[in-house]
């Protein structure tokens, strides 16, 4: 018989097991058990209440050399135990945590490029991963990647801290300015967060495009002024809606829309490559056609820094970005293996954001 960890006070013995989702492939995610992690000095044991499935979680080529493993990095939950030396957090605190944090001392961090820091890219993670009943949060994450959840903010809302922080960093890198025309290509979860954030940051005209009608309806709910089916006719439609001009900022949230995005940016504008592309993908453009006499800027971002996480939580608290409008599925652990297949087949399930609730 499984023992209920929620009834065990403070220190949890190694032999007690917890449920996890073990990822082998998108079509093979198994509900398994493993020992609850033990924490050391400076660390936290977190009882996970909400954990979102990210688009990167279903990038099989990105995971294939590491499986089996427990994924999940968009987490919020309750502190069960705080290790020696932890002063800011205690048992019972409601927190959101990010799995990747920077060193704050390397050349990249010192020049503002925290999200290409080697520590952030390779040196920090949860044990075993957010799709588990409990996770160990390492000391470096506790120091700069764990944040109190404000009163009135739910665990589910707080689990959006990390993805919204990534979106925020992207729009900052692309230098979004109030009044600009923003075209978001792809209305999955990242695209919808980009729509909501662009609206909150004062974009003039926010346009969303996708090939899935359900997603376009969600884009309207998130604040898009205009929605279009993503095809070559979008260029004429965009000019009609934007006084004859194309977009000042194009945000590509699905690599299939890269060719369209490179055509849809106005001279002097910016294209933000936000989504990860397929393995081996290349840019379908020549240097002269793309750059010469256009002054177009191409940029990209990866992840979010701790400062982005703080700002994201403030935006969530203020309901400036209505993150809960993107949630289409809430799954208990026993149901959650199907969540990965649901994310991979959005048209079959009207799926955008799937939240796993490990305590159910």
Q: What is the per-residue DSSP string for 8-35?
A: S-SS--TT-EEEEEEEEETTEEEEEEEE
Residues 153, 33 share a domain: yes
Which region holds residue 295: left if phi is over 0, alpha if psi is between -120 and 50, else beta? left
Residues 210, 246 share a domain: yes
Residues 151, 40 share a domain: yes
Task: Look at residue 345 and tell me if it is in a domain.
Answer: yes
Task: Look at residue 165 and tell me if it is in a domain.
Answer: no
Q: How far apart are CA 124 and CA 134, in angstroms?
A: 17
Cα-based angle 209, 215, 219 (whole degrees, multiple of 5): 65
In the predicted structure, residue 1 carries a pLDDT above the cut 50? no
DSSP 277: P
Task: Look at residue 306 and tell me if it is in a domain.
Answer: no
pLDDT of 211 reads: 94
Mind listing the pLDDT tens digit for each residue in 234-276? 999 999 999 999 999 999 999 999 999 999 999 999 999 998 8
Mind listing the pLDDT tens digit for each residue in 174-212? 999 999 999 999 999 999 999 999 999 999 999 999 999
Which region holds residue 168: left if phi is over 0, alpha if psi is between -120 and 50, else beta? alpha
Q: Return the sign of the alpha-carbon dihedral for residues 170, 172, 174, 178.
A: positive
Residues 180, 153 share a domain: no
CATH number at residue 286: 3.40.50.720
Task: Look at residue 308 and tell me if it is in a domain.
Answer: no
Residues 142, 27 share a domain: yes
Q: How far apart are CA 285 and CA 22, in angstroms?
A: 40
Residues 200, 113 share a domain: no
Residues 258, 154 share a domain: no
- Stated as kind and residue range, the H or E segment containing 210 is strand 205-210
- Partners of 51 in the beta sheet? 75, 356
Residues 269, 183 share a domain: yes
pLDDT of 30 reads: 96
Task: Look at residue 312 and tell me if it is in a domain.
Answer: no
Range of the domain at 208: 175-300
pTM: 0.93
- Provide the total of helices (H) and of strands (E) in the chain, helices listed first: 14, 15
Nearest to residue 82, comparing CAs of 7, 178, 11? 11
Residues 337, 280 share a domain: no
Overall number of domains in the chain: 2
Tell whether omega for the bond before 157 is within 30 degrees of 0, i.e. cis.
Answer: no
What does each C-alpha distance from 203 to 79, 129, 206 come to in angstroms? 38, 36, 7
Residues 336, 200 share a domain: no
CATH number at residue 55: 3.90.180.10
Residues 29, 151 share a domain: yes
pLDDT of 232 reads: 84
Residues 154, 9 share a domain: yes
């Amino acid at each position: 018989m499984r023992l209920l960890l929620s009834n065990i006070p403070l220190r949890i013995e190694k032999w007690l097991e917890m449920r996890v989702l073990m990822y082998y492939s998108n079509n093979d995610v198994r509900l398994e058990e493993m020992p609850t992690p033990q924490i050391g000095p400076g660390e936290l044991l977190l009882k996970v209440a909400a954990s979102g499935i990210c688009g990167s979680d279903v990038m099989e080529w990105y995971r294939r050399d590491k499986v089996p493993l427990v994924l999940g990095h968009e987490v919020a939950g309750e502190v069960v135990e705080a290790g020696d030396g932890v002063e800011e957090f205690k048992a019972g605190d409601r927190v959101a945590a990010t799995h990747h944090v920077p060193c704050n001392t390397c050349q990249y961090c010192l020049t503002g490029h925290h999200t290409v820091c080697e520590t952030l890219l390779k040196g920090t993670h949860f044990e075993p991963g957010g799709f588990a009943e409990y996770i160990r949060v390492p000391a470096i994450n506790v120091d700069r990647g764990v944040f109190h959840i404000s009163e009135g903010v739910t665990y589910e809302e707080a689990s959006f801290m990390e993805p919204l922080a990534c979106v925020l960093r992207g729009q900052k890198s692309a230098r979004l300015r109030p009044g600009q025309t923003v075209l978001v290509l792809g209305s999955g979860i990242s695209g919808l967060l980009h729509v909501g954030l662009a609206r909150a940051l004062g974009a003039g005209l926010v346009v969303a495009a996708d090939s899935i009608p359900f997603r376009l309806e969600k884009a309207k709910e998130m604040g898009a002024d205009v929605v279009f089916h993503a095809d070559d006719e979008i260029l004429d439609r965009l000019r009609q809606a934007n006084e004859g001009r194309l977009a000042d900022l194009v945000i590509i949230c699905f690599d299939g829309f890269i060719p369209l995005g490179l055509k849809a940016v106005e001279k002097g504008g910016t294209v933000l490559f936000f989504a990860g592309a397929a393995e081996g993908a290349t840019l379908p453009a020549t240097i002269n056609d793309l750059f010469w006499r256009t002054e177009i800027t191409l940029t990209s971002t990866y992840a979010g820094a701790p400062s982005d996480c703080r700002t994201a939580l403030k935006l969530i608290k203020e309901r400036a970005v209505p993150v809960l409008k993107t949630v289409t599925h809430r799954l208990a652990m026993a149901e959650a293996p199907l969540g990965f297949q649901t994310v991979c087949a959005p048209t079959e399930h009207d799926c955008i954001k799937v939240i796993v609730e490990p305590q159910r």
